[in-house]
């Protein structure tokens, strides 16, 4: 049985049992292989400043205040 799903970014075959992700961006169906999913996660971490200790400490303090 051939798996019809391919990674939305790089086109490699998707294997959900190997940790690949299948879901939706809004109403658009998407699939990500583990490498592209990892890269997407890294991009969000960098773009949101989640790799900056000072920013994380501020955010933790904010979350505790608003808990």
Residue numbers of the site for Zn ion (CB under 5 A)? 7, 9-10, 33, 36
Q: Which is nearer to Zn ion, 38 or 48 (CB)?
A: 38
Phi-psi region of 39 (alpha: psi -120 to 50; beta: other; left: phi over 0): alpha
Tokens representing 21 are 């992700």
Please report how close the Cβ of residue 61 comes to Zn ion at its closest, in angstroms: 37
Residues 6 or more apart from 56 whose CB is under 8 A from it?
50
Please report how close the Cβ of residue 35 comes to Zn ion at its closest, in angstroms: 5
Please report how close the Cβ of residue 22 comes to Zn ion at its closest, in angstroms: 12
């Amino acid at each position: 049985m051939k798996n019809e799903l391919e990674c939305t970014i790089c086109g490699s075959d998707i294997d959900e049992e190997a940790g690949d992700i299948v879901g939706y961006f809004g109403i658009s169906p998407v699939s990500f292989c583990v490498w592209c999913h990892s890269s997407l996660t890294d991009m969000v971490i960098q773009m949101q400043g989640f790799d900056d200790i000072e920013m994380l400490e501020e955010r933790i303090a904010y979350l505790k205040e608003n808990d």
